[in-house]
Chain A
Amino acid sequence: MRGGEAIIESLKNMGVKTIFGYPGGQTIPFYDMLYDSDMDHILVRHEQCAAHAADGYARASGRVGVCVATSGPGATNFVTGIATAYMDSSPIVAITGQVPTHLIGNDAFQEADIIGITMPITKHSYQPKNPDLIPSMVKSSFEIAKTGRPGPVLIDVPKEVQEGELTNFDDSLIDTPGYNPTIKGNIRQIKKARDLIRQAKKPLILAGAGVIISNACCELNKLAKTINAPVMTSLLGKGAFDETDDLALGMLGMHGRKVSNDSINESDLLIAIGIRFSDRTTGRLDSFAPDTKIIHIDIDPAEIGKNVDIDLPIVGDARNILSSLNKVLDGYKASDDVNKWTEMIKQRKQDLLPRVTYDDVPLKPQTVIKEISEVLTPESILTTDVGQNQMWAAHFYDTQKPRKFISSGGLGTMGFGFPSAIGAKVACPDNPVVSINGDGGFLMVCQELATVHEYDIPVIAVVLENRTLGMVYQWQSLLYNERHSQTLLGNSPDFVKLAESFGVNAVRITKPGETKEALASAIKDNEPILLNVVVDSEEALPMLPPGAGINEMIGEYKLEKDVI
């Protein structure tokens, strides 16, 4: 067995059936060996999209996503994808080719120190110096990528290592004495949490992606129901709790639901789970829940107290801790005070439901999201790009199940939406997968239309066309005296013709009702399709201006109850 074959075999041992990649000079041996294997390979049209697809695959399935690129420019094209996965704790294994060992450091053709470049954005990295190391390095990469707080791992494989014969190897995990993620929560801390919950009169739960990653959604649901506390989520926490539930308030943060942003500072206890209190979630720190006791449950000790001062930290796996917490809460009955608070918040939620009903042309993005909501089932997977499109989706789309809302939160990577949808669809072929994009971000990755066409991956790409870089445009409108510097995209391209040139069907949508109709038939047809939805470029999202507190939103928050 040669090095490249060892990579493929090891991946298969890890349960991998599909990888995403793009060949090049220093991966020719690997691809030659792949030719004889039964491993599925999706040829993307840009390496960054291979990384995003692996990321989408991982987020949709909970399994490790794998992507492959060549050395040098192939590897550096991975960087954005790896950083995206790192920021959002997504388990991917990125494999890169490298120039032969004897040339490393010589500025050889297509040489880049990709391990050095990606050091701050990977959880770990390996470079096998001989083929015998490959099986254990691949195995260890998966172990590190998916355990503890997940993240990307890079394996950089010099060309001659791919070609060399394995002679003496074993596939045991590499000993890593410094890597021992804490899984089990400290029971004394958990009992203290129970006591805080018993004393609380106005509890709130804030759920982040950690709840989804640790598969703790049932435990979260049980906790929320037991203590009768309303639940907010971060952007990436969408789906941790059924957003159609009475107790669900929706997303908190810069573009969060008004009910969440208005209520958080009134609570006397915040139970934050699997969340890192990003600046986009909290607003200005000193006015974030200043009088609220905060319990912070997270697997990463480095997140405790990083941004927000914590009254009670519990380090460990969210599922493990929530299940213990539910046990020690056995027999708990919510007090009258709590019930009164929660009823008040529920009523506030009804009063503050955001407006989604419009019959305007050009279409209001809210209506487009509403129509999409009406067609999609709880099992459908929605991925988003970054910018206004993402926030329209996050704000107005109710996600009911975990791993069904996929978005680039931490890095905010434009161009993430479409390729991550490809990965999600490959991971979950039976679930409808819709990606919501803006016209700016979609054009960064539109070449992947070729991928969905060639492999017949029935992803539905919604492109909200407003001919602006909407989020920056909105900031310029609200905060920079409407000086729209470099955010007008002109009238090119014609997205329908663009899709058709790749052999992908496309529909242009301009009126209310058409999105719903087109989406329903797209799901039925089960073919790749682009829905080019023309929306109003002047519609702005209510937002927290930079430096504002969580309850200081600007912009008109239009309410559904005001619809005449």
Chain B
Amino acid sequence: MDLEYHIISTLVEDKPGVLQKVAGLFNRRGFNIDSITVGNSEVEGQSRMVISVHADKKGLEQVTKQLNKLVDVIKIKDITKNAVKRELCLVKVNIPNEKARAEIMQYSNIFRAKILDVTEETLLIELTGDKQKINAFISLLENYGIKRIARTGLTAMSRGV
């Protein structure tokens, strides 16, 4: 089975159980959802869900059709091509020495990350970007010892009108 990376954007009714139903359909096919983000949309009472998933073409087509059948699902679009993708990452990193502190702050500058909290031993940094950018930043910080990472998972929107 050839798995491809897909980003599916769905507009759903903001009701209990919708997330469970959507996730359940992917689960039945044996697709592992890489990430799923949900939040309010431009319409009151409707949420936008962005799902990133590795799936084979035929299987994904079937899941998309099944998703469409859910009464609570209003719209579905595969926006893999032509999408702006962003993820937010919070990372708490150790500061072994003063030199490290300076280096980390410099990296943060380069990556346009924000420092949210400072203690003697740690820095809490916020970074927004696509997956590659965040991965690159994290791998730089790994040298200092990362205490904790929290990532939101991908949200995305197609370019143009």
Contact = CB atoms under 8 A, between A and B. Distances in A.
Contacts of A300: 69
B62 interface: yes
Nearest to B73: A178
Contact of B65 (A116, A120, A123, A301): A301
A120 B66 CA distance: 11
Contacts of A280: none
A116 B17 contact: yes
A477 B28 CA distance: 34
A422 B70 CA distance: 32
A177 B13 contact: yes
Please classify how large the interface on chain B is, using the bins under 10, 10 to 19, 20 to 34, 35 or more.
20 to 34
B74 A178 contact: yes
Given A177-B74, A178-B71, A119 B20 contact: yes
A124 B68 contact: no
Interface string A110-127: 000001100110011100
A125 B21 CA distance: 11
B49 to A, nearest CB: 12
A116 B20 contact: yes
A178 B12 contact: yes
The listed residue with most B CB atoms (<10 A of its CB), out of A125, A300, A302, is A302
A491 interface: no
A124 B71 contact: yes
A300 B70 CA distance: 12
A120 B70 CA distance: 10
A176 interface: yes
A302 B17 contact: no
Contact of A178 (B13, B20, B28): B13
B71 A144 contact: yes
B24 interface: yes
Contacts of A144: 71
Interface string A280-306: 000000000000000000001110011
Nearest to A306: B62
A119 B69 contact: no
A302 B29 CA distance: 14
Interface in B3-27: 12-13, 17, 20-21, 24
Contacts of B62: 302, 306
Contacts of B75: 178
A315 to B, nearest CB: 11
Contacts of B20: 116, 119
A67 B145 CA distance: 60
A310 to B, nearest CB: 13
Contacts of A302: 62, 65-66, 68-69
Interface string A88-121: 0000000000000000000000000001100110
Nearest to A127: B16
A176 B71 contact: yes
A279 to B, nearest CB: 15
B11 to A, nearest CB: 8
Contact of B24 (A120, A177, A179): A120
B160 to A, nearest CB: 24
Nearest to B76: A178
A123 B21 CA distance: 11
Contacts of B12: 178
Interface in B49-69: 61-62, 65-66, 68-69
21 contacts: A116-B20, A119-B17, A119-B20, A119-B21, A119-B24, A120-B28, A124-B72, A144-B71, A176-B13, A176-B72, A178-B12, A178-B13, A178-B71, A178-B73, A178-B74, A178-B75, A179-B71, A300-B69, A301-B68, A302-B62, A302-B65
Given A120-B28, A125-B17, A302-B69, 10 more contacts: A115-B17, A119-B24, A123-B71, A124-B72, A177-B13, A178-B74, A179-B71, A302-B65, A305-B61, A306-B62
The 8 closest A-B pairs by CB, nearest first: A302-B65, A178-B74, A124-B71, A179-B71, A178-B73, A177-B74, A176-B71, A302-B66
